[in-house]
């Protein structure tokens, strides 16, 4: 019994010394962990600059890449303060498709298809006749301010096909 008490006492003393030697509290451990990651460039809670504001940057209206599943939808919101909004998509033809179309004597089209005219864009596969799964598109947003100055930005939209279960 005496040996068990000595062993338990030694275990308690070791645990207490380990806890006392550890100077990190929860906040410092979280800070140390978070310091391993790249900082976020923008404050996500900061207000979005309106079209025409001095800090408005047209090339930051859209994120560079968007992905949409073929059985889903994608909602994108344009910047506030524009008088008009115009959303278009344009098929990005890869090199093999372009060469095959030219060899078959087909006309290679690079037409933009308008898919929205409001600040909020809701995209589905039915939004454009051009949409085909496994393809990429240029998604463009054109906005006009109260002085009739037009701004635009482009992003890349990829549509993934989801197979039914």
Mean pLDDT of 145-154: 94
What Å distances lie between residue 116 and 36, 88, 112, 139, CA to CA? Answer: 41, 7, 12, 11
pLDDT at 133: 76
Sign of CA dihedral 50, 82, 61, 69: positive
Which pTM value belongs to this model? Answer: 0.65
> Which of 71, 61, 73, 63 is closest to 150 using CA atoms?
61
pLDDT tens digits, one per residue of 93-121: 777 777 777 777 776 666 788 899 999 99
> Which of 157, 109, 154 is closest to 131 using CA atoms?
157
The structural domains of the chain, with segments of one domain joined by +, span 2-34, 58-160
| Spatial strand order in the sheet of 65-69 | 65-69, 150-160, 136-144, 84-91, 113-116
Q: Which CATH superfamily is domain 58-160 in?
A: Immunoglobulins (2.60.40.10)
Where residue 71 falls among pLDDT bands split at 50, 70, 90?
confident
Higher pLDDT, residue 91 or 16: 91
Where residue 91 falls among pLDDT bands split at 50, 70, 90?
confident
pLDDT at 135: 80
DSSP 33: H
Sign of CA dihedral 146, 149, 154, 157: positive
């Amino acid at each position: 019994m005496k040996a068990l008490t000595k062993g338990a006492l030694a275990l308690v003393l070791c645990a207490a010394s380990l806890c006392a030697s550890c100077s990190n509290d929860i906040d410092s451990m979280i800070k140390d962990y978070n310091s391993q990651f790249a900082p976020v460039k923008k404050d996500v809670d900061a207000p979005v600059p309106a079209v025409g504001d001095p800090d408005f940057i047209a090339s930051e209206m859209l994120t560079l890449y968007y992905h949409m599943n073929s059985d889903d939808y994608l909602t994108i919101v344009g910047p506030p303060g524009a008088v008009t909004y115009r959303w278009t998509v344009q098929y990005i033809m890869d090199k093999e498709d372009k060469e095959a179309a030219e060899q078959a004597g087909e006309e290679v089209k690079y037409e933009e298809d308008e898919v929205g005219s409001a600040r909020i864009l809701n995209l589905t596969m039915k939004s454009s006749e051009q949409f085909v799964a496994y393809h990429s598109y240029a998604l463009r947003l054109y906005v006009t301010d109260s002085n009739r100055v037009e701004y635009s930005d482009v992003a890349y939209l990829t549509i993934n096909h989801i197979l039914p279960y």
